Amino acid sequence: MSAQTGASRTWTVSRRYLNLPVENGAPKRLLRLGDAGDGPRLRREFAIELARGTPDFWVVTDVAAFAGQRLRLEVADGAGPAPGLDLVTEDDAIAGGGDLYHERYRPQLHFSSRRGWINDPNGLLHFDGTYHLFYQHNPYGWGWDNMHWGHAVSPDLLHWEEREAALYPDATGTMFSGCGVVDAANTSGLQAGAAPPLVLLYTAAGGKSAQSRGRPFTQCLAYSTDGGTRWEKDAGNPVLGHVVHENRDPKVIWHPPSRRWVMALYLDGFEFGLYASPDLRAWTPLHTVTIPDCRECPDFFPLAVDGDPRDSRWVLGGANGRYLVGSFDGRRFVPEGEARPSYTGSSYAAQTWSDLPEADGRRIQTAFMRCPLPGMPFNQFLSFPVELTLRRAAGGAVRLHALPIRELDRLHRRAHRWSDLTVAPGDTPLTGIGGDLFRIRAEIDPGAATETGLTVRGVPVVYSAATRRLSCREFAVSLDPGDTPLRLELIVDRASIEIFAQDGRYALPVGVIPEDGDRSLAVFARGGAARLPSLDVFELDGIWA
């Protein structure tokens, strides 16, 4: 690259990445990347804590699409030159990426972005044997900002390949949450060639960036006609104009009986709107649904009750995991019963996958796991995918259950098994087993114990017989009367313990970084002996090569 001044750099693109130096806590600078020359076209604009000296870490922007073109990177905030601009380099590799995906706190079972911030999962869809994962992403720093849609693909929901960002901020706003679908019948008319178009519906968050100042929140469409490699924003955007306040996070599903698309959209307060469209472009309002104490990121889908396709319900939920079960006739959603939590803990903004193979018959969900990862060149991660089912409880209520997807079995490396194990206070039956990646299944009869549970790398997972509460750190769930024996399943990673109780009726995902030197496991009983009819501990392989 050729340096010109402390306020701009101009060069001809010959490598894949621009490496940009980040210093956490440095003043944010507004950078613009555009064509060099008179009247340059703006390609990208972003805020970055540009390093003033030695960087804390490096981030990248992919410029491969501009190969051979003359570009200018310039400071555009009016605050004067930025010395860190002289540190920017062009390369085919990520600077400081020698330990990529194996850094100290890098989750080894959960998806995380190679660099920068990640939050809500978006646009989850399956097409032609490939799972496409999109996510809220700040490629340029450790904190939330510059919302893009990151993009990764997988053949199995375990092993991921990160691709170039699919959606970049533009003059309509930054790229807030949304969904993805396969338009199998080409209702949108976007098909070009044999493959159906893949369509993303997203919120353009006007006013959340310098270039979108004064714009409202609207719902927009992007599409791919090559199976998900290249993405183009629709020329007719927005497909749904501003409704109210920061209306956002469209979730779209095909409704076969009415032969049209249905969108759930967060409006304001605890209100969610339902809309319908024949073509993903023209949307008609249906009605509004209230989910008490719930905001943002709706999901809307049908599920069979106890696996019986003749007895199904629709589920409408929001970002904090609260959901309603009810009926939907293509026009109105009618809840039955009160809103309930599907998860309690560190998870947020869960979404389910679209267009899974019909023969598969599963409804799979992934969420944002909120856990800061200090000292890393990336931050936050996504939850391990779970399969959702609807089951009728003893009292007749229909409730969601969630358990890890069966693909987790492929990561099993070594198994340790016990049956009919009695644990008295002070017993240490798991001595000698250590690591940082585990799957644990336990059936526990508290017996005379007042408290019983597991200690995972120094982090207690505690069941209190007196209060019937299952807790880990600051999070807890109360089990229903009759929920004995206690059945637990845990997924343990470097920065999380995801807990599922009573066959997934309770989900308690906890983001936590254990002490570095503690790789131990223990099962404990306090106040008396407990009995474990079964205990299985599986050591696991990681997902990164």
The DSSP annotation for 33-100 comes to EEESSSSPPEEEEEEE-B-SSS-SEEEEEE-GGGTT-EEEEEE-SSS---GGGGG-EEESS-TT-TTT
- CB of 98 within 8 A of CB of 62? no
Give residue 110's pLDDT.
Answer: 98
Range of the domain at 418: 407-540
Mean pLDDT of 10-38: 95
In a domain, 466, yes or no: yes
In a domain, 106, yes or no: no
The alpha carbons of the chain give a radius of gyration, in whole angstroms, of: 25
- Per residue in 428-476, pLDDT (tens digit) is 899 999 999 999 999 999 999 999 999 999 999 999 999 999 999 999 9
Given a cut of 60, whether residue 374 has pLDDT beyond it is yes
Give residue 482's pLDDT.
Answer: 78
- Per residue in 272-318, pLDDT (tens digit) is 999 999 999 999 999 999 999 999 999 999 999 999 999 999 999 99
pLDDT confidence of 394, banded at 50, 70, 90? confident
Residues 291, 389: one domain?
A: yes
The DSSP call for residue 170 is: B
Map residue 410 onto helix, strand or coil: helix
Domain stop point among 351, 369, 404: 404
Q: What percent of the chain has pLDDT over 70?
A: 99
Given a cut of 60, whether residue 4 has pLDDT beyond it is no
Sheet strand arrangement including 8-12: 2-5, 8-12, 70-75, 29-35, 42-48
- Give the C-alpha separation, 192 to 196, whole Å: 8
Domain stop point among 404, 433, 462: 404
Residues 85, 134: one domain?
A: no
Map residue 409 onto helix, strand or coil: helix
The partner residues of 462 in beta bridges, in order of sequence, read 453, 471
Nearest by Cα to 356 from 321, 385, 320: 385
Nearest by Cα to 37 from 10, 15, 6, 77: 10
Q: Which of 62, 77, 120, 311 is catalytic?
A: 120
Give residue 533's pLDDT.
Answer: 97
Please provide the average confidence, as pLDDT, over all residues in the chain. 96
Given a cut of 80, whether residue 359 has pLDDT beyond it is no
Mean pLDDT of 501-530: 96
- Per residue in 64-112, pLDDT (tens digit) is 999 999 999 999 999 999 989 999 999 999 999 999 999 999 999 999 9
Give residue 492's pLDDT.
Answer: 98
Domain containing 137 — which CATH number?
A: 2.115.10.20
Residues 83, 156: one domain?
A: no
In a domain, 512, yes or no: yes
Residues 321, 205: one domain?
A: yes
- CB of 249 within 8 A of CB of 297? yes
Map residue 259 onto helix, strand or coil: coil
Give residue 379's pLDDT.
Answer: 98
Give residue 483's pLDDT.
Answer: 79
Given a cut of 80, whether residue 251 has pLDDT beyond it is yes
- Per residue in 218-240, pLDDT (tens digit) is 999 999 999 999 999 999 999 99
Residues 366, 427: one domain?
A: no
The total number of structural domains that make up the chain: 3
Give residue 534's pLDDT.
Answer: 97
Residues 447, 530: one domain?
A: yes
**Is 120 labeled as catalytic in the residue annotation?**
yes
- CB of 233 within 8 A of CB of 202? no
In a domain, 526, yes or no: yes
- Per residue in 406-431, pLDDT (tens digit) is 999 999 999 999 999 999 999 989 99
Residues 209, 329: one domain?
A: yes
Nearest by Cα to 414 from 510, 521, 495, 533: 521
Give residue 484's pLDDT.
Answer: 79
